[in-house]
A and B are shown apart, each in its own frame.
Chain A
Amino acid sequence: MIIHPELRALRGDDAPQRDAQTGLYRAVAAWKSKAEFQKVSAELDLLNAGEDLANCDALSAIFTQNSAAARELCTTFVTQGAAALGSAPLGHIPLRHSTDGCTSTLLLGRSGRVTLSLVALDGIEMTRRPRPKNVSFGPNETWEFFLAGTGVAELVSCTPSGPRSAVLERREIPIRAGTLLARHGQRESRLLRDLGTTLVSLRLQRRSVHNEPTREYDLSSGELVHQAAGNPRDSRIELMMAMLGRMRRSDAAPAMAGIALGEGSTALRWQALRECLALDTLEGFQALSRVAAATGDPLAAPAGALRAQLVEMHPQLQELAPCLA
Chain B
Amino acid sequence: MNLPNIDLSSLPGLDTVTGMFGSMLDTSGDVWSDDTIIVLMTFLYDLIPPGGML
**A-side interface residues toward B, CB under 8 Å?**
1, 3, 11-12, 14, 98, 100, 102-103, 105, 115, 117, 119, 121, 126, 129-134, 136, 138, 140, 142, 163-164, 185, 189-192, 203, 205, 207, 213-214, 216, 224-232, 234-235, 238-239, 245, 265-267, 270, 273-275, 277-278, 281-282, 284, 302, 306, 310, 313-314, 316-317, 319-320
Q: Once the chains bind, are A213 and B18 in contact (CB under 8 Å)?
A: yes
- A316 and B26 form a contact (CB under 8 A): no
Give the top 5 A-B pairs by smallest Cβ distance, nearest first: A132-B29, A267-B18, A134-B26, A278-B8, A235-B21
- Which of B2-31 touch A at CB < 8 Å? 2-8, 11-26, 28-31
Q: Which has the most chain A C-beta neighbours within 10 Å: B13, B14, B22, B29?
A: B29
Least CB distance, B2 to chain A, in whole angstroms: 7
A229 to B19, CA, bound (A): 6
Task: Say whether A245 contacts B8, CB under 8 Å.
Answer: yes
Assess whether A306 is in contact with B30, with CB atoms less than 8 Å apart: no
17 chain-A/chain-B pairs, Cβ below 8 angstroms: A12-B51, A100-B39, A132-B26, A132-B29, A134-B26, A192-B30, A213-B18, A216-B25, A227-B18, A232-B22, A234-B21, A270-B13, A274-B8, A277-B6, A278-B7, A314-B4, A320-B1
In the complex, what's the smallest C-beta–C-beta distance from A217 to chain B, in angstroms?
A: 10
Q: Are B34 and A142 in contact (CB under 8 A)?
A: yes
B14: which A residues are within 8 A, CB to CB? Answer: 266-267, 270, 302
The interface centre, meaning the residue of A102, A130, A138, A239 with most chain B CB atoms within 10 A of its CB, is A138
B39 to chain A, nearest CB (A): 7
- Contact in complex: A136, B30 (CB < 8 Å): no
Interface residue? B36 (CB, 8 A): yes
- Contact among B1, B32, B51 for A100, CB-based, below 8 A: B32
Question: Contacting B23 at CB < 8 Å: which of A119, A228, A302?
Answer: A228
Residue on A nearest B26 in the bound complex, by CB: A134
- Is B35 in contact with A205, judged by CB distance below 8 angstroms? yes
With a CB–CB cut-off of 8 A, which chain B residues contact A267? Answer: 14, 17-18
Bound: A202/B24 CA distance, A: 24
* Cβ–Cβ contact B11 & A278, under 8 A: yes
Chain B nearest CB from A29 CB (Å) reads: 23
Chain A residues lying within 8 Å of B21, measured Cβ to Cβ, are 228-232, 234-235
Residue B33 CB within 8 A of the other chain: yes
